[in-house]
Chains A and B, each alone.
Chain A
């Protein structure tokens, strides 16, 4: 399983970024190889539609699951279309969250906010 998490720094001990669309990096962790790959978030400075573009990055990198603090409706639509499961992040580092997911201790995230639209 490939798990995606928005992270502030490029390492497993980084805290989870509360913002999905404007996080610095996405970590993709492969549970079989135990390897992590860090991808820069190209949506970070986009004035609008950041959640959508970030979700596209998650889908393009072949993730099966995403762990996030919160998510906008638009980003959720993209992920759900790609059948990527969305989990609510718990306190702790990215590693803590991955461990929690593997142990089946994370609940699904289903409450999505309206998003910021990004227009004047």
Chain B
């Protein structure tokens, strides 16, 4: 069972929810897809078992075969090639690895080499297997890292996979939720939060993913996010109160369910609820 945790807005509590859900399960896999700013590892402090480079293909020119015809420069939609004195120059970081220049060169002057854009770390902390994707600073897209993170992960009802997604609703978020069985949308009770909740609501609806909302940092008084859910008939899975004690534990990168029975119960119930929802979806669709 793959559970993706996302929110339109940053700072609503995706990592809080993902890390704690992964911890209350008897056994689980946690995948940090926020490859620009991964934070899950700060909480788990995992023992790193392995590290793998993630690379993309970039073109390499054999200057002896090049006739300076410019077809590669003219073809490249990303402007990753320039030509000076009949010699093409390649700009790695701008290259999208589409392989176009290799195809269009009439002299077959291009071959491809690997370039590392980041890495995937595999680790373990207690009952949780942890996969962290880290994009090198300056690299543009994290999509190849996310694809790598999400492939071949052991996934059973007994060992759920929790995917901590990047904020927003851009293509890296889409990549992260592509294979999810269920999406948990984390929302905060502010006007800004609702506006961004609406964006991810549209996203999960477009992808036809079953989903529910966790309301975080709940205060007394009107909760615009709650009103939104009621209006749109969206299932509310849990309310996490705004709690200075929780805030402090979280700000010290502590996993709150390990320090508080109250929150252990809250997150255990949340996990059970999600499992029930996924099972219901399965029966409804079979």
Contact = CB atoms under 8 A, between A and B. Distances in A.
Interface of A: 43, 46, 48-50, 52-53, 55-56, 59, 74, 77-78, 81-82, 114, 117-120
8 contacts: A49-B80, A52-B81, A59-B84, A78-B82, A78-B84, A117-B94, A118-B78, A118-B140
Given A52-B80, A118-B78, A120-B170, A82 B85 contact: yes
Nearest to B76: A49
B94 A74 contact: yes
Contact of A120 (B80, B85, B89, B141): B141
Contacts of A46: 79
Nearest to A21: B79
A78 B270 CA distance: 56
A52 B138 contact: no
Nearest to A80: B84
Contacts of B81: 52
A49 B78 contact: yes
Interface string B63-80: 000000000010010111
B91 A74 contact: yes
A56 B73 contact: yes
Residue of A77, A114, A120 contacting most chain B CB atoms (<10 Å) = A120
Contact of A48 (B78, B84, B89, B171): B78
B283 to A, nearest CB: 38
A44 to B, nearest CB: 12
Contacts of B84: 59, 78, 81-82
Interface in B96-138: 96, 138
A39 B93 CA distance: 28
Given A48-B94, A74-B93, A120-B172, 8 more contacts: A43-B79, A49-B78, A49-B94, A59-B82, A74-B91, A117-B94, A119-B140, A120-B141
